[in-house]
Chains A and B, each alone.
Chain A
């Protein structure tokens, strides 16, 4: 078996399958029929790239799931026996099902992406887009440089805030953002000089990071899509399909 690292494009496609499949039905079963086998399949196919989500990611995921779940529970469509009612808030058998389905969908959409995110190389993705002519070279390179600038601009924001205080000016978010924007533009101009002199516009780039998809990558892509399609067929066969499109 090949020991080469899974291709970033394959990981993106596999982890994006739930987002496309779950658009079609809002029943509570599809997330289970899709999520469980898909997560298992990804884990079996690419065990070396699975990493536990960071604490911040888990906090964001929990907060999102909790907010959507509570909102659906209290304000979702009433069906079946009403279990609790206070003002506009109703909890019924139907709203419990809706809430569970909503929470499950978010988990199934987010979890595969969180598990493989650490193994996705932006450089490999953009190199593939450039070589396959999905993006012009300059756009792919500029995107990579912009990614590097995110922490730099974040540091600029801190620096601007402290510099204002050092000059006796109170913290005003708009003023800080505006100053940081001006500094970021000036920095970008200087960095574009550096990029240009290093060959940003040259057309003879060999894109050494680019590599073609391997057998395992193709199995990962087709297997993930197959699981997505199979889960939809199963839900329809069981008669629990609940079309999201009226």
Chain B
């Protein structure tokens, strides 16, 4: 009897039109019931590998060498972006889509839906609209949907990448429950070893397209700590000293608000912000749970949305930020949105930001690549490099540290601190407490809506 669900032997993959192989000489076996964490530096090929494990490689767009075998009868996959995991208008429809092909009779479908939702800890009414779920709720519904087929192999690609701390834990707990109740093997891509440590028994580190380390998690953590740190892996209990940002702030106020109320759209929840006087060289962090209005606040402060109430003023500007012409706005306040893919306007990375700014955030040797071909973490750093190249007085960053390994995270932090030293000011929305502690002079915590 075979003891492998998935096996790769001397396997390499290159995307059509690419000069180099994205994954090289991969030899990897995953056994039934095994729980594997795949981690490694940003842009190292983790997501490509995990898609191959799930059988999601489009053979018409890649060249493969070596052997790849998948013996799993049923594979379930949940990706990073919550909105892309949800296909149907209601929770019931979503889970039924899988349950309807996993049972023999229509009468069995409801039972299978209930079982899957219960196992993932989804407590929302079954007929709820999926459009109104939070990111964490969407990921839990996606996990329930995945488990409705009782898969041999559950593959998760950074399922908590865009979630706040509490939502991360609820998703982790959902995975814990469904895995504990089943014999499924688990393969999960994550930067945060600490979050998943109790669920996995093996770690595979992918760096520069190769398997750099592969072994039992506790053993690798105990014996290869130095190698993991050198590879940029976030090792539990080890983070490079990040002193609080105590450098001197300037005296001049570059942005001020008065009785500011923000709302994303007509009919949406409104949030009141405490008065803010942002000085040159100062960084202010906006924190709060998913849905607390951080992104909306950042967009109003950055002149992308009009305030619902109150005012925002920039230094030496009579015109309200949201009424400024776009070209003028970006020299005063440059915003980097949470998903930078919407903002790229050039066909190559080299055209998007100058070389010195890219190098400063750890992006080297990818001038001719298309911005959309970069990994999530690399795209964020490219967008920040492009924003910094416009030398704005204020930089507004929405979750800049998503998808960053320890090295790129520190590159980013160093560049942002330099920007503050040069007299720039930062408003930052982030769930990353380490980044907030390392960069921000002040924290504004957003709570309940009005």
A and B bind = yes
Which residues of A approach B to under 8 Å, CB–CB? 122-123, 141, 144-145, 147-148, 151-152, 156, 158-160, 162-171, 179, 183, 186-187, 190-191, 193-195, 197-199, 202, 204-210
Whether B100 lies near A208 (C-beta < 8 A) is: yes
Whether B336 lies near A166 (C-beta < 8 A) is: yes
Whether B341 lies near A198 (C-beta < 8 A) is: no
A186 (CB) vs chain B CBs: closest residue? B372
B19 to chain A, nearest CB (A): 23
Whether B55 lies near A208 (C-beta < 8 A) is: no
B86 (CB) vs chain A CBs: closest residue? A148
B residues in contact with A141, CB < 8 Å: 97
Whether B106 lies near A206 (C-beta < 8 A) is: yes
Complex CA distance for A165 and B131, rounded to whole angstroms: 26
B residues in contact with A166, CB < 8 Å: 302, 304, 330, 334-337, 343, 387
Whether B54 lies near A197 (C-beta < 8 A) is: yes
Q: Is B84 an interface residue (CB 8 A)?
A: yes
Q: Is B168 an interface residue (CB 8 A)?
A: no
Complex CA distance for A141 and B75, rounded to whole angstroms: 20
Q: Is B216 an interface residue (CB 8 A)?
A: no
Could you say which of A123, A156, A179 contacts B93, with CB atoms under 8 Å apart? Answer: A123
Whether A160 lies near B342 (C-beta < 8 A) is: yes
B residues in contact with A156, CB < 8 Å: 342
Whether A195 lies near B87 (C-beta < 8 A) is: yes
B341 to chain A, nearest CB (A): 7
B109 (CB) vs chain A CBs: closest residue? A208
- What DSSP secondary structure best describes chain A's contact surface? helix
Q: Is B89 an interface residue (CB 8 A)?
A: yes
The 20 sampled A-B contact pairs (Cβ below 8 Å) are A145-B88, A147-B89, A148-B87, A159-B337, A160-B342, A162-B299, A162-B304, A164-B345, A166-B330, A166-B334, A166-B343, A169-B345, A170-B326, A186-B372, A190-B81, A191-B87, A199-B102, A206-B100, A206-B106, A209-B93
B residues in contact with A171, CB < 8 Å: 326
B residues in contact with A186, CB < 8 Å: 372
Q: A168-B334, A210-B106 are in contact. List 20 more A-B contacts (CB 8 A).
A: A122-B89, A158-B265, A160-B342, A163-B337, A165-B303, A166-B304, A166-B387, A167-B326, A167-B343, A167-B345, A168-B326, A168-B390, A190-B79, A193-B77, A195-B87, A197-B56, A197-B77, A198-B97, A199-B97, A206-B105
Q: Is B98 an interface residue (CB 8 A)?
A: yes
B393 to chain A, nearest CB (A): 14
Q: Is B120 an interface residue (CB 8 A)?
A: no
Residue in B75, B81, B130, B341 whose Cβ sees the most chain A Cβ within 10 Å: B341
Whether A194 lies near B77 (C-beta < 8 A) is: yes
Interface residues on B, range: 35 or more
Complex CA distance for A202 and B105, rounded to whole angstroms: 15
A residues in contact with B106, CB < 8 Å: 206-208, 210
B residues in contact with A197, CB < 8 Å: 54-56, 75-77
Whether A183 lies near B84 (C-beta < 8 A) is: no
A residues in contact with B99, CB < 8 Å: 208
Whether B304 lies near A148 (C-beta < 8 A) is: no
Whether B83 lies near A152 (C-beta < 8 A) is: yes
Complex CA distance for A211 and B318, rounded to whole angstroms: 64
B324 (CB) vs chain A CBs: closest residue? A165
Q: Is B149 an interface residue (CB 8 A)?
A: yes
Also in contact, A207 and B100, with CB within 8 A (given A151-B131, A194-B77): yes
B residues in contact with A170, CB < 8 Å: 325-327
A201 (CB) vs chain B CBs: closest residue? B101
> Could you give, for residues 84-117 of chain B, a 1 whenever the CB lies within 8 Å of some chain A CB and a 0 otherwise?
1111111001001111111111101110000000
Complex CA distance for A228 and B335, rounded to whole angstroms: 59
B residues in contact with A167, CB < 8 Å: 326, 330, 343, 345, 386
Whether B131 lies near A162 (C-beta < 8 A) is: no
Residue in B86, B97, B302 whose Cβ sees the most chain A Cβ within 10 Å: B97
Whether B130 lies near A198 (C-beta < 8 A) is: no
Complex CA distance for A80 and B337, rounded to whole angstroms: 65
Also in contact, A193 and B109, with CB within 8 A (given A169-B345, A170-B326, A206-B103): no
User: Which residues between 126 and 165 of chain B lie within 8 Å of chain A, taking CB atoms?
Assistant: 130-131, 145-146, 149
Also in contact, A162 and B345, with CB within 8 A (given A148-B86, A199-B98, A206-B109): no
Q: Is B359 an interface residue (CB 8 A)?
A: no
Q: Is B311 an interface residue (CB 8 A)?
A: no
B392 (CB) vs chain A CBs: closest residue? A168
Complex CA distance for A143 and B282, rounded to whole angstroms: 50
A52 to chain B, nearest CB (A): 18
A176 (CB) vs chain B CBs: closest residue? B342
Whether A202 lies near B305 (C-beta < 8 A) is: no
A residues in contact with B14, CB < 8 Å: none
A residues in contact with B62, CB < 8 Å: none
Q: Is B329 an interface residue (CB 8 A)?
A: yes
A171 to chain B, nearest CB (A): 8
Complex CA distance for A70 and B75, rounded to whole angstroms: 61
The 4 closest A-B pairs by CB, nearest first: A163-B343, A163-B342, A208-B109, A168-B330
